[in-house]
Structure 1
Amino acid sequence: MKHPARRWLLGIAATLLLGVGALVWVVSVRLPTDEEVAAKIAEGFEKRFGVALKIGGAHWSLLPVPVLALSEIATDQPRPITLRRLTLRLKLAPLLQRIVAVDDLEIESLVLPRASVRAFRGRGPKPQEDGGNLVALPAPWTLAPVPLEQLRWRDVVWIDRRDIALAYDGDIRFDPGWRPRQARLERAGATTLTRLRLDRLDGQDRWRTRIDVGGGTWNGVARLETPPGGKLRVSAELEPRQVDIESLVHAFGRRTSVAGKVSGHTTLRAEAGDAEELGALIRGLHTRTTFSVQPATLTRLDVAKAVTTVGISRGGTTALDELTGTLDTQGTEDGVVMQYSNLKARSGVLTASGNLKLFNRRLDGEIAVDLVDGVVGVPLKVSGTMSDPELSLTGAALTGAAIGSAVLPGVGTAIGARLGQQVEKLFGGSEPKKKAAPRR
C-alpha cells in the first residue's frame, strides 16, 4: 500500500503512536524520567499539529515488557479532545534490535467533539515531508513489517454537530501494510445489538462484512482499492434483511417517521485524494439502497386527514401494506443529504408515490395519492422537520374546482365525497356509515 493510504487506515491511532517515537528518542539517549517522557510527547504533538497537549500523568517501563501509559490527556482547545488513558505495549526482542513493534495499543474513554477534530484538518507534515511514516523515528530505528498488532478502544465518544454524543467500543488486528485482518466496531450502550465485523478474505483487499443492527442483518463484502495517483477507494455491496427501522435509528440517537422492517440492497462508495485523511472518506461517503418495508407505518403523518380536510396535517399515523423506494445518501461538509426517490406506498389496490429530501432534519418533497378508482393522484406537499412533519395539499389543488378538474374533469363538487371514501379505504379508515331508512 502506498504511504498516503497508511495514514488514512490508522487514523487516530497514528496520532497517539507519537508516544513510541518520543520513548525511543529518550531511551536512545539515556533512561528518562516519567516527566521527561510526558514533556517529550507533548512537545512532539504540538510541533506536528500546532496544538498544545496537556498530559496529566505518564509512566513507562522496559521490563518485563516495554510499556508506556499516559493518563488524563487533553488538547488545548475551547472544547478539548480528552483521553482518560492510553497504554502501549511493545515487543522487547525487536526493540533490542532498534525495531519498533507495538503489540497492543489500548485507548480508554476518548472524547472527540466534532469542531475540535475538524481543527486538525490539513495540519501536520505532508507525506513527502516525513516519507509517509506514521511515526517519526530517529536513525537507525525502524518500524516492524507489522508496526501495530492490535488496536483496542473502549468508550470512544463522538460528539456530532447537533451535540449528540455516541460511544463506541472496538478493536482491529492488523496484517502487513496496515491491512485489517479482523475488525469490530460496536455501539456501546445501544438497547439492541449494533455491531460491525470485518474479516479479511484470503489475504486480499476484500473483507467479509457482517452488520448486526435493529434485530436484523446488513451483510456483504467490502473492498479497498488504491488506484493510480495515491488515492484510496472503499466500496461495498450489502444486503439488509429484516432490520427494524426504529431500533436502527434509535441506536444512533435519531428519530424516524417510518416504522417497520426493511430489506433490500445497498451499494457503498467513498474515495479520498492523496492530500486527505480518513475523515475525507467519511465526508465523501455515498450510499444507495433499494428497499422494501412490509408492512410499514408512517408514525407522524396522517395522509387521509391531509386530503379530506384540504389543509395542513400534523401528527397521526398511516398504515401501509408495503413501502418501497430508493434512498441515496451523500456526505457533505454540513451533514448527510438523504434523497428518497421512486417512493411507492400500497394499501389494498390503491397506491401513493413520490420523492423526498431530508437534510439537517428538514423535509422537502411531494407525494401523489391515487384516488377515485386509481385514476389520478392528488398532490400533497411534505415539509416541516423530522420531529414535526407536515402534509398539505399543493397550491394547485387547494380549491374544490382545481381538485375536480385535476382529478376527473366533469365530476365537479361530487368529488369531495368520493375522495373521502377512497382515502379511508386506502389508509385503513372506517367504512362510511349508511343512512338509516326513513320510517313510513
Structure 2
Amino acid sequence: MKHPVRRWLIGIAAVLLLGIGVLVLVVRAKLPTDEQVAARIAEGFEQRFGVALKVGNAHWALLPTPMLVLEDVATDQGRPITLKRVRLQLQLAPLLHRVIALDQIEVESLVLPRASVREFRGKGPKPKEGANVVALPAPWTLAPVPVEKVRWRDVVWIDRRDIALAYDGELSFDPQWRPRQLRLERAGLASPVRLRLDRESGLDRWRTRIDAGGGTWNGVTRLETLPTGKLRVSAELEPRQIDIESLVQAFDRRTSVAGKVSGQTTLTAEADTAEDLGALMRSLHTRTAFTVQPATLTKLDVLKAVTTAGISRGGRTPLDQLTGTLDTQGSEDGVVMRYTNLKARSGVLTASGNLKMFNRKLDGEIAVDLVDGVVGVPLKIGGTMSDPELSLTGGALTGAAIGSAVLPGVGTAIGARVGQQVEKLFGGDKKPAPAKPDSKPAPAAPKASSPRKTP
C-alpha cells in the first residue's frame, strides 16, 4: 500500500499546485499592472491632499508573500518631499478576508523639509470619531493591529534653519495604535544619541531610556485621555551626567555653556488625536531643574564686563557651579527657551538672573556679586547664540561713572549698584535726570561703599 498512498499524495499536491497556479493567473489578469498601481497611488494622493505625487517605480506581488514596493517617490512642491524606497509586507490570510494587516513597513531615505511638510497641515479628509485612521473602501477593514512593525533608515528632517538631521529606528504596535516598543537614534554619530520606549504590561506607561552626551536621561512616559477628550503625553525624566556640548553638537547646534548636567525634567504635550503628531510637537512643554558642576561659559567673560563697564564679547568664565530652571515651549515659529532662577558661583564671584532665547536671539539680565551678595552689578545679556554679549544697563553705566569718581578701583562695581537702584526708581532703561552726576543718586555712593569697612 505504500506505493499507492505515495502516488495519491503526489497527485493531490500536483492538483493543489495547479489550482494555485491557475488562481494566481486569474487574479493577476484582473488586478492592475505595476504601472497602473503607480498611477493609482499618485492619483489617490493628489485627490486626498491636493499635491501632485510622482512615483518612479512600483512593484507588487501576491506570492510567496503579498507585498508592495514603491521607489523614487517625490511630491510636486517647491522643495519636494522625497522617498527612495518603501516596502509594505502584508499578511496573506487576513487579505483573503478583505482585512488589511501589515507585517512590516520598511522606509529608506525619506527627506522631509519642514516648509513642505507644513503645506499638508489641515489637508485631506479627517476621519470621523471612532473611525479608522486610514479610510478604506467597503467592505475592506483594518486588523486590530494594522501594522506590526515600522522600520526606517536615513529619515532626514530639515528644519527652519535648513539644518538636516538623519534618524534611524523602528516602532512596533499593540492594538489601538499603542506603541509596544520604540527605538530612535541619530544616525552617523560616534557618540550614540538614542531613545528607547518599552510598554509596561499593557498599560499606557512606557519605560523611557535616553542615552546622550555620555550620560542618561531615564524615566517614565504616560498617555492619558483628559476630561475634554484631548490626549496628553507626559513624562518624568532624570538627566544624569550629560555632557552639554556633546549633546548639542549631536543636533548640529552650538552652546555657550560647557559641563555635565544633572537634574529633573517634566514633559507635557496635548493633541486632539494621537495621530496629530504636529499638534503634539507644537504643544510640547518641558521644565528642567538643572545643575552643572563645574561649568564654563564658553563665549562670555563676566569679570571683564564688570570691570570695564562696557560691552563684552567673547572670552570664557569658569564656574564652580551653575543651577537654574529651563522651560521650553513649542510654537509655530520655533521653540521658546526661558532660563529662570539662574545662579552661578565661581570663587568669590556669584551671579543670579534670567534669560530668554528665541530664534537664536538672547534677552536677559544677571546681577553679579563680587563678594557674595555685597556688591551687585546688573548686566544685560544680548546678542545671539553664536555671538552673545554682556553690557551694563543704561542706569548702571551712570552709577558706575559716579562710583569711579568716589572710590577708584572698586568704584565701577559699587557705582553700578547705585545705577541699579536708579533704574528701579525711575523704571526700565530710561535716562532722565538721574543721568546727571550731581543729581539724587550721588549721595547714594558712600552708602553703597559701606561694605568696605569689612577688611
Q: How does 1:217-232 map onto structure 2 within 5 Å?
A: 217-232=216-231
Distance 1:153 1:230 in 2: 31
| Amino acid corresponding to residue 411 of structure 2 in structure 1 | G
| Amino acid corresponding to residue 126 of structure 2 in structure 1 | K
What is the SS of the residue equivalent to 1:339? strand
Inter-CA distance 66–349: structure 2 relative to 1 (3 Å threshold): same
Report how far residue 152 of structure 1 moved: 0.6
Report how far residue 136 of structure 1 moved: 2.5
Q: How does 1:163-174 map onto structure 2 within 5 Å?
A: 163-174=162-173
1:88-145 CA-to-partner distances (Å, cap 9, x unmatched) read: 000111111221110000100000000000000001112229x632323222221111
Inter-CA distance 259–414: structure 2 relative to 1 (3 Å threshold): closer
Inter-CA distance 173–163: structure 2 relative to 1 (3 Å threshold): same
Distance 2:255 2:209 in 1: 24
Distance 2:89 2:270 in 1: 33
Inter-CA distance 212–321: structure 2 relative to 1 (3 Å threshold): same
Aligned equivalent of 1:413? 408
What is the SS of the residue equivalent to 1:271? strand
Contact 2:363-2:382 within 8 A present in 1 as well:
yes
1:229-280 CA-to-partner distances (Å, cap 9, x unmatched) read: 4422100000000000000110111100000000000000001125982101
Report how far residue 309 of structure 1 moved: 1.1
Report how far residue 78 of structure 1 moved: 0.7
Distance 2:413 2:95 in 1: 83
Contact 1:69-1:87 within 8 A present in 2 as well:
yes
| Amino acid corresponding to residue 341 of structure 1 in structure 2 | T
Distance 2:201 2:29 in 1: 43
Inter-CA distance 369–401: structure 2 relative to 1 (3 Å threshold): closer
Aligned equivalent of 2:156? 157
What is the SS of the residue equivalent to 2:247? helix
Aligned equivalent of 1:82? 82
Report how far residue 371 of structure 1 moved: 1.9
Aligned equivalent of 2:4? none
Contact 2:239-2:263 within 8 A present in 1 as well:
yes
Aligned equivalent of 1:427? none
Aligned equivalent of 2:46? 46
1:206-227 CA-to-partner distances (Å, cap 9, x unmatched) read: 0000000000000000001122
Report how far residue 31 of structure 1 moved: 1.9
Distance 1:171 1:143 in 2: 21
Aligned equivalent of 2:57? 57
Contact 1:283-1:333 within 8 A present in 2 as well:
yes
- Say if 2:294 is the partner of 1:288: no
What is the SS of the residue equivalent to 2:262? strand
Aligned equivalent of 1:143? 142
Structure 2 gaps, min length 5? 1-26, 415-455
TM-score under structure 2 normalisation?
0.82
| Amino acid corresponding to residue 92 of structure 1 in structure 2 | L
1:175-204 CA-to-partner distances (Å, cap 9, x unmatched) read: 011001100110012231100000001110
Aligned equivalent of 2:179? 180
Count residues with an aligned counterpart.
Answer: 389
Contact 2:114-2:160 within 8 A present in 1 as well:
yes
What is the SS of the residue equivalent to 2:211? strand
Contact 2:196-2:210 within 8 A present in 1 as well:
yes
| Amino acid corresponding to residue 416 of structure 1 in structure 2 | G
Report how far residue 228 of structure 1 moved: 3.7
What is the SS of the residue equivalent to 2:128? helix
Contact 1:126-1:275 within 8 A present in 2 as well:
no
| Amino acid corresponding to residue 38 of structure 2 in structure 1 | A
**More off after superposition, 253-262 vs 28-37:** 28-37
Contact 2:375-2:413 within 8 A present in 1 as well:
no
Inter-CA distance 199–296: structure 2 relative to 1 (3 Å threshold): same
Contact 1:342-1:353 within 8 A present in 2 as well:
yes
Aligned equivalent of 2:122? 122
What is the SS of the residue equivalent to 2:41? helix
Distance 2:372 2:144 in 1: 70
Report how far residue 44 of structure 1 moved: 1.1
Inter-CA distance 401–382: structure 2 relative to 1 (3 Å threshold): closer
Aligned equivalent of 1:404? 403
Contact 2:350-2:372 within 8 A present in 1 as well:
no
Inter-CA distance 397–229: structure 2 relative to 1 (3 Å threshold): closer
Q: CA RMSD in A?
A: 2.1
Aligned equivalent of 1:37? 37
Q: How does 1:206-221 map onto structure 2 within 5 Å?
A: 206-221=205-220
Contact 1:401-1:412 within 8 A present in 2 as well:
no
Distance 1:404 1:160 in 2: 49
TM-score under structure 1 normalisation?
0.85
What is the SS of the residue equivalent to 1:38? helix
Contact 1:122-1:276 within 8 A present in 2 as well:
no
Aligned equivalent of 1:273? 272
**Bigger radius of gyration:** 2
Report how far residue 320 of structure 1 moved: 0.3
Distance 2:275 2:209 in 1: 28
Inter-CA distance 142–344: structure 2 relative to 1 (3 Å threshold): same
Distance 2:159 2:399 in 1: 47
| Amino acid corresponding to residue 151 of structure 1 in structure 2 | V
Distance 2:90 2:395 in 1: 71
Contact 1:397-1:403 within 8 A present in 2 as well:
no
Report how far residue 28 of structure 1 moved: 11
Contact 2:306-2:412 within 8 A present in 1 as well:
no
Q: With CA pairs under 8 Å and 6+ residues apart, which has the higher RCO, 1 or 2?
A: 1
Report how far residue 330 of structure 1 moved: 0.3
Inter-CA distance 47–28: structure 2 relative to 1 (3 Å threshold): farther
Contact 1:113-1:160 within 8 A present in 2 as well:
yes
